Amino acid sequence: MEIDLIPTPWQTVGPYFAISLAGGHSIEHIAGPNAKGERVKLMCAMFDGEGQGVDEALIEIWQANSEGKYNHPDDTQEKPVDPDFLGFGRQATDANGICVFETIKPGRVPGPKDAMQAPHLVVSVLARGILRRLPTRIYFAADPANEKDPVLALVPKERRETLMAQPVANQPGAWRFDIHLSGDNETVFFDV
């Protein structure tokens, strides 16, 4: 018996990456309508090294609630859990490389040596051609706690701006965070 081998397209992540992004796997609303805290509409935009939007990429977010407590059993702080706060979101980017999350500004959480961290969101980026998730963080520009954040202090000053969400003009509560996979404005990714 002779078998004909027909070459198939080569893809590092596989031909079905987009399928896992659709439908019930997306979580846009991290905080429900009754969640406590400052409401935030966070637009994330992902770009390749040439400044083009990256479509069908996956952005996952984990964050603490407004009190600084994660909705996870490993967070043993004696702070209240908000029943209307999920703490996790997942969105695929659209044809322009954009996705939007509805959430709240997180509270401060303890970090290395129990130093309090500035409000931030933990982010994972996945896309075709990326074999391992790219972890990063989103901080809020001009937050006074940024100056004393122990993790942000590990990033060279000239690179910290790549981790800052910027307020959107004339849209109260709206923030924009740009993720650059490479190039001059490459976002700082963490080796964790």
Distance from C-alpha of 35 to C-alpha of 105, rounded to nearest angstrom: 11
CA distance 130 to 171: 33
Assigned domain for 10 exists: no
Please indicate, yes or no, if residue 12 is contained in any of the structural domains: no
Domain assignment present for residue 192? The answer is no
Number of domains present in the structure of the chain: 1
Chain segment 63-121, per-residue pLDDT in tens: 999 999 999 999 999 999 999 999 999 999 999 999 999 999 999 999 989 899 999 99
**How much is the pTM?**
0.88
Share of the chain residues as helix, strand and coil, in percent rounded to the nearest 5: 15, 30, 55
Q: What is the pLDDT of residues 31-69, one digit of tens each?
A: 999 999 999 999 999 999 999 999 999 999 999 999 999
CATH of the domain at 28: 2.60.130.10
The answer to whether residue 8 sits within a structural domain is no
Q: Is residue 136 part of a domain?
A: yes
